[in-house]
Amino acid sequence: MTDSRHALIIANDRYADQGLKKLKAPAQDAASLERVLHDPQIGDFEVEVVHNASADLMRRRIQGFFNDRRRADTLLLHFSCHGLKSESGELYFAASDTEPPLLAATAVASQFVRGCMSGTRAGRSVLFLDCCYGGAFSRGSASVRASGDVNVLESFAKDEPASGRGWAVITASDSMEYSFEGNELAENSAPRPSVFTHAVVEGLATGEADLDADGNVSLDDLYEYVYRHVREQNPHQTPKKAAELQGELHLAHSRRGGIKIVAIPSPASLQAALNSDEFLRRQGAVTELCKRLQRPELPVAEGARQHLGEVAHNEVQPLADLAADALSTIRLAPSPGRLDFGQVPTGSTPAKKSVTMQGPPLARHCVVQPEQPWLRVDPTRDGMEVHVDTGTPGHLSGDIALKGVADESVIHVEAEVTPADGPPKPEPHLSNDSTRPKPPPEDKRRTVVIDPSRIPSKPKQPPEPNQPPKTTEPPKTTEQQKRTDRTTPSRRAPALAGAALALAVTALAMLFMTIQRGVVAVVARADAGATGNVEDNIREYGALTPLIVCLVTGAAALVVGAFARHELGARREHYTKQSVSGTQTMASVAKGLAIPTLVLAVLAGIAYLVGSAHW
């Protein structure tokens, strides 16, 4: 995320007034939310926490938080405290020194918070309210009373912000509902997170709130996830949302999507060249981006990838194809894509199998997540080492999910764990069997990150004495051999593209010949005076023959060029990068020559048919 992102968490759980009961969740909520929002792989927010502050300090921190912001900033304010209602119906947030009979002087009014949000220059402001609007009062307390509905969202949806791009408010509960801590409002239980904030933290931390699995958790994604989670935990609590936003607001990255790299933008001179009106200058800029894509500095390569993605979607065909070819080199390419450990005795330590990630450093940078608890992965400089848990006999079959900056991939793993004291016995398939003993929760799906820029290379160890050298590459299978055969360079598409270009040039030459002879015929008709006939002159000077040849060769150039592009798309793996580039260039030039030539030839034919009868 390139925008500046700031979060302020206000958590109050201790109150001087005896009428306001002590809360158990805010301190724990604040720590959990701060951790997930500050994580650069998730929220990437700069986070400030204000705990058990007075009303005056709360107002100072809130106003300072919204002041001096820029349009590119995204602000998130989170309240975890009691919510109180005045006799006039206004909502207040309780501070540590709040006195319920003196709310205007000792609590923070929702109108004050709304005013700060409306006046900020920040592009987007988000407010989370985890407040107990109906349960703020201790049993038997006579110092405070609640009457009527709070109507929380109405306190914030009255005015649109004076500047910026929009705002959003999500509340833990509606109107006079309780905001539950755990499943009850018991006063003597151990500290536990609130249902609402727990859902926010869990959805962001696990990535489960990324409902559309696009790699980002939007405001709508998070609200839908929190709403379902809270309602499942407690049907008596109903989260609500109000928003005035332009476009989609991404609150966090999701580990369900691709890995995150903070990109370094390409130099300004390179970006200016990309926006140039000169084709050759733009082509040079794209070529330079292709070189930067191969750089070992991942932020530099990621910046080039993002620019090449724009080129591939918005540029003319030759440059778009060049960008697409470069982007194809950073797709995940694990080798091998399938591991078979064979039969291994129970309790033994099977030999590790290595998986090499192909391509430039950006293609090797990925998140690796074993899908089964018996799989183990250790990152290496060029990929990973995989081994399996042999604690229980049975057939093991599972996958390792890889998620990179461009796409996803899967490595399939098989193993047969046999009893140590006898031949293998038939065992049920255990890839998803709940009867198989599982390790502690933290080991079930240990996620690792392969970062070629940080993992040091392991020195090669000489083989043990009297030990045969280890084979690091298995022999090629029949399928791998077929794949190798399919990559043998072919010349069909370049030949078709060359023929299309030759036909287009011929059509253009015939058009010039037609125009030249037509001009001579018209001049001869003018010299003949009243007795002349332009149709006879055109036939005499042979202007129709090159016109017909022009039409035929121009149409043929388009057809042959289309065949060349189809061949290239259907059998791309048969061609080298140079062949692909040459074919695309020749086909594009042929098309660019043939179309205007055909248009002019058709206009010339129409002019002949219309004019010959009248002149």
Determine the average pLDDT of the residues in 459-475: 47
If DSSP codes are grouped into helix, strand and coil, which group holds residue 494? helix
* C-alpha to C-alpha distances, 431 to 62, 102, 286, 420, 427, nearest whole angstrom: 51, 63, 46, 21, 12
* Residue 274 predicted with pLDDT over 60: yes
In tens, the pLDDT along 84-101 reads 888 877 888 999 999 988
Residue 437: pLDDT band (50, 70, 90) is: very low
Alpha helices in 189-278 (DSSP H): 195-206, 219-233, 268-274
- Alpha-helical runs (H) found in 382-491: 478-486
- pLDDT for the residue 579: 76
Tell me the C-alpha distance between 526 and 190, whole Å: 108
Q: Is the pLDDT of residue 190 over 50?
A: no
214 confidence band (pLDDT: 50, 70, 90): low
- Find the largest Cα–Cα distance for the chain: 121
CB contact at 8 A, 573 and 487: yes
pTM: 0.45
The answer for residues whose C-beta is within 8 angstroms of residue 263's C-beta and 6 or more apart is 2, 299, 302, 303, 305, 306
Least confident range from 115-119, 124-128, 252-256, 520-524: namely 252-256
Question: Is the pLDDT confidence value at 126 over 80?
Answer: yes
Of 561, 524, 521, 556, residue with least CA distance to 541: 521
C-beta separation of 504 from 586 below 8 A: no
